[in-house]
Amino acid sequence: MQVYLDNAATTPIDPRVIEVMVDALQNNFGNPSSIHGHGRQVKSIVERARKTIANLLHASPSEIFFTSGGTEADNMAIVRSIEDFKLSHAITSPIEHHAVLHTLEEMEKLGKIHLDILNVDAEGNIDLVHLEELLAKNPRTLVSIMHANNELGNITDLQKVSELCQQYNAIFHSDTVQTMGHYPHDLSTLKIDFITGAGHKFHGPKGVGFLYVNGKNKIKPMIYGGAQERNMRGGTENVYGIVGLAKALEISYEEMEEHQNYIQSLKDYMKESLLNEIPDVRFNGVTEASKSLYTVLNVSLPCTNISDMLLFNLDINGISASGGSACSSGSDIGSHVLSGIGADPKRPSVRFSFSKNNTKEEIDFVVQKLKELCSK
């Protein structure tokens, strides 16, 4: 049996998404920047996709900018905020995706900002009291906090963070890559400056994403060279990716409740099975359903004797997952997220992440293989 449980890394593309992309590939080859009929036809397809995404998020089409993915979108939000709003301070957490952490660290190295790192507890929850203390000292700052952690699954209450940022006049950016297409985002009620999305996290194509820029914010481009994206991102648009991205997000919203219920049941089933089959199994991050991604379960295992080979052993048994252990003292190898919450570096951890395509039979197979590996 071949089992794919690494959906937080990327998801299989939905056949309905492939269908609209193939149609665009076959029938719409014009350059959307060209003024002739072929170009205008393709331009209209891009703008329909933009409108679809904006409507789903309760935003304006003028606030949606297409990018090559979540990393570019995060970089654009962070760098342009710091440069264009003349910010000299930023706040983030130690468990952010590297698209955020590395960008902020580089800005600090360049002398652009002073970077403060928030406290997090042993489950990976950010300390909102600490956040307010930092904001009070540096009221004009950039706050970059992800909506849900890609390794642990923890969900941050964006409304609470937003209220603090408004109170202290801070710019608020959230990496929403892991929740986009899995949870609703209503940008008519959430006061936020920037959020990001990547198509391949919700059964769309790779290499395409978007940045939402609140209409009150005016920033400069990151990529120059053309007037595309309303002069915000030079370069010919990834038309077929954009079409697929919009279709994937549309399907995700239509089927969201059904998939959430189904995938949550798989996660609960796996958690219960592991507790029954493997002594001293533990879970990293918050496991309470309302505060954790239904797509992610991070498992800490007692089989320290095969810590370095666990993922390899899963792979040769046909199981695709990801993870590792916390970084050991003096070593850069391992997960900065697990290190950030003080996880035991001797215990191997595996992130299992689910999609609508997984089954209970697959879960049974994986649990049995884990039991065998941990009993050696």
Integer Cα distance of 235 and 73 in angstroms: 15
CA distances (Å), 329 to each of 95, 209, 336, 342, in order?
A: 17, 36, 12, 11
- Measure CA 19 to chain center: 25
Integer Cα distance of 65 and 25 in angstroms: 21
* Active-site residue flag, 327: yes
- The enclosing H or E element of 375 equals none
Active-site choice (165, 303, 327, 374): 327
Q: How many Å is the maximal CA-CA distance in the chain?
A: 68
Integer Cα distance of 124 and 157 in angstroms: 13
Helix residue spans in the chain (DSSP H): 15-27, 37-57, 70-84, 98-109, 128-137, 158-167, 228-231, 239-254, 256-277, 310-316, 336-340, 360-374
- Residue 230 exposed, middle or buried by CB count within 10 Å (0-12, 13-18, 19+): exposed
Integer Cα distance of 48 and 46 in angstroms: 5
Integer Cα distance of 245 and 30 in angstroms: 19
Q: Which two tokens stand for residue 342?
A: 């003080």
CA distances (Å), 248 to each of 24, 181, 200, 254, in order?
A: 15, 8, 9, 10
Handedness of CA 230, 236, 241, 243 (dihedral sign): positive
Contact assessment for residue 148 and residue 293, using Cβ atoms and an 8 Å cutoff: yes
Complete DSSP assignment for 290-353 = GGB-TTEEEEE-S-GGGGGGHHHHHHHTTEE-EEE-BPPTT---SBHHHHHTT--TTS-EEEEE
φ, ψ of residue 31 in degrees (nearest 5): -85, 125
What is the Rg, in whole angstroms, of the alpha carbon atoms belonging to the chain? 21
Catalytic center residues? 327
